[in-house]
Amino acid sequence: MNQFSHRFKISHSLSTQQTISPELQRSMYLLGLAQDDLEREVAAICEANPLIAEMPTWARSRGSAGQCEDRIASMPERRHLGEDLKAQLGLVRTSAGVRHLACMIIDSLDPTGRLDPGDWERIEREYVEAGKALQLVQSLEPAGVASRNLPECFWLQLDPAVKSRKAWRKLFEHLAELHKVPASAFARLCDVDEVELRDMLDLLRQLDPTPGLKYDPVEPIEVRPDLVLRSGGDGDTQLVLARGCGPRLSMEVDYRNWRSDRTLCAEAHRFLESAQLEVNWLQQALRQRGAILLRVGRLLVRRQYRFLEEGDVHLIPLTMREVATELGVHESTISRAVAHKYILTRRGVLALRQFFSVSVDRQDEGREASSSTAVRAHINRLIREEAVPGEMSDALISSRLGAMGIAIARRSVAKHRKQLGISCSRDRYRWAGYGRA
């Protein structure tokens, strides 16, 4: 026997594996894109493909150049907090070292105008004159800038005459206890009566907890709907693609008859053939994208019609798996189809993901299950309508929902209440005491 024969072994195995073609992968990628991203992606493809016109017919006009210039010219110039503070700093007489540290503090501020305590500790530990620099920055406008916490932010905004009063110093000493004790007890801590305490708290409410945001305001995000739900005169509704969501490509005039052009060489023919295949794929991908959006949208509108008409309380449990099963597609397809997609309805522009919600069990077998979104809407309504602040405890809310056929534990009520940003009944009662006349 050959001395190497024992080293070789031949084996056979059979397996099945599903593969996705590159064209299908690109189609799924286009499906998951938001409308603005889709436009940029298609524009990039059009620019590289000579068979497609430079400006597709689906691109919506955003106004003439003159209109854009007028709109931009009419917009107020935005100020930057750091630049404004450094400009004020340039008018103040101080040493070069303190000025350098003040600029360092200004560069460390967050958009709200606050100074992170960790950043301040590092600066204070490394530089002897850090205290002078901080005091200098805190003396600049807007008042409250470079504060390290909320009480300090409010304190910096108060008039010196107010801060000199003993009652105000006591209020800030015990400010952390404000939400823990009733109004009468807190008034005794500050050596004032309840009427004067309410006046002091009214003044606090007028102060700005985020003084830096007036310099860098958060601009509203333009949301462009992908679907439009139209209501007919007879009460019927029709779901259509929004303008620009179903793009149609315009072919370049010079290349419409390239196949019959005998002057082109073989290499040019191969290149244009490849470009034509890409055009065919892109047109099909865009048609499929519009079709799946319409199919998903129509199913969501049909299943959640009461949610669209009457609000969150009537949102029924619905998962992407259920929609995928009913439409005969993969769950990932539904996930891509609803990601960053919006629908224009009579209730405004809604995200398609708002139509989905998990189920909360019902006690009555014959009744329809409630979604977690609907449960939160019920909790919010019960608390908003309570006759006395703090009347609706988590246990009482659980009991009221149980009477409605919704089985939910007290701890689950507390979880949903916290998601709504609502305080517990005890805190609501105490805070109400500070506002009563």
Rounded-to-integer distance, Cα 161 and Cα 181, Å? 28
Rounded-to-integer distance, Cα 63 and Cα 54, Å? 18
Residues 200 and 98 in one domain: no
This prediction has a pTM of: 0.58
Is residue 284 domain-resident? yes
Rounded-to-integer distance, Cα 281 and Cα 335, Å? 22
pLDDT at 299: 94
Is residue 259 domain-resident? yes
Q: At 383, which CATH number?
A: 1.10.10
Is residue 156 domain-resident? yes
> Which of 302, 336, 355 is the last residue before a domain boundary?
355
Residues whose CB falls within 8 Å of the CB of residue 217, separated by 6 or more in sequence, listed in order: 78
Is residue 78 domain-resident? no
Residues 206 and 256 in one domain: no
Is residue 53 domain-resident? no
> Which of 214, 247, 267 is the last residue before a domain boundary?
214
What's the number of domains the chain is made of? 4
One pLDDT digit (tens) per residue for the chain, 437 residues: 455 444 545 555 555 555 567 777 888 888 888 888 888 888 888 888 777 775 544 444 444 333 333 333 333 445 688 888 888 888 888 888 888 888 888 888 888 888 888 888 888 888 888 888 898 988 988 888 888 888 888 888 888 888 888 888 888 888 777 777 777 888 888 888 888 888 888 888 888 888 888 775 555 567 788 999 887 656 678 888 887 565 566 666 566 666 666 667 777 767 777 888 888 888 888 889 999 999 999 999 999 988 888 888 888 888 899 999 999 999 989 999 998 899 998 888 899 998 988 776 554 444 556 778 888 888 888 888 887 778 888 888 888 888 887 888 888 888 888 888 887 887 777 666 555 44
Is residue 313 domain-resident? yes
Residues 239 and 350 in one domain: yes
pLDDT at 294: 93
Residues 237 and 312 in one domain: yes
Rounded-to-integer distance, Cα 158 and Cα 150, Å? 13
pLDDT at 73: 35
152-158 own/partner pairs: CB under 8 Å, 24+ apart: 153/113, 153/114, 153/207, 153/208, 153/209, 153/211, 154/204, 154/207, 154/209, 157/207, 157/208, 157/211, 158/207
Q: At 100, which CATH number?
A: 1.10.10.1330
Is residue 159 domain-resident? yes
Residues 175 and 251 in one domain: no
Is residue 126 domain-resident? yes
Residues 351 and 366 in one domain: no
pLDDT at 164: 84
> Which of 164, 187, 214 is the last residue before a domain boundary?
214
Rounded-to-integer distance, Cα 141 and Cα 84, Å? 9
pLDDT at 418: 85
Q: Look up the domain containing 421 and give its range.
A: 359-435
